[in-house]
Amino acid sequence: MNNDYLARAKKAIPDVQILSVVAAKRARQLATGARPMIKCKDENVLDVALLEIAEGLLTYYFGDEDPDAAAAPEAAEVKAAAEAAEEPKK
């Protein structure tokens, strides 16, 4: 495991427990044939997963959250504005 990739991924996901789960799930996907979203000089699937997290290509959300809001806080505001614009005016 590349410690530089780990340090960069910790900046993206500061909670180490969540980071380990996200990285492990993505590494498992890569090991079973998923295509990497980034080019990495290392062939270790965990390094690729950590680099994807560090580059912001891989995020997470909890089941009861809106995935769009977890990915970008502004997305919830944009979604609410779009819904308000679609409402018929009285």
Domain holding 13: CATH number?
Answer: 3.90.940.10
- pLDDT higher than 70, residue 85: no
pLDDT-derived band of residue 45, with 50, 70 and 90 as boundaries? very high
Check whether residue 42 and residue 21 sit in a common domain. yes
Check whether residue 8 and residue 44 sit in a common domain. yes
Check whether residue 74 and residue 34 sit in a common domain. no
Check whether residue 8 and residue 52 sit in a common domain. yes
- pLDDT higher than 90, residue 65: no
Domain count, the chain: 2
Question: What pTM was estimated for this model as a whole?
Answer: 0.68
Cα dist from 8 to 28, 55, 74, whole Å: 20, 8, 23
Q: Angle CA(41)–CA(39)–CA(28) in degrees, nearest 5? A: 90
Residue 16's domain comprises 3-59
How far is it, in rounded angstroms, from Cα 51 to Cα 7?
10
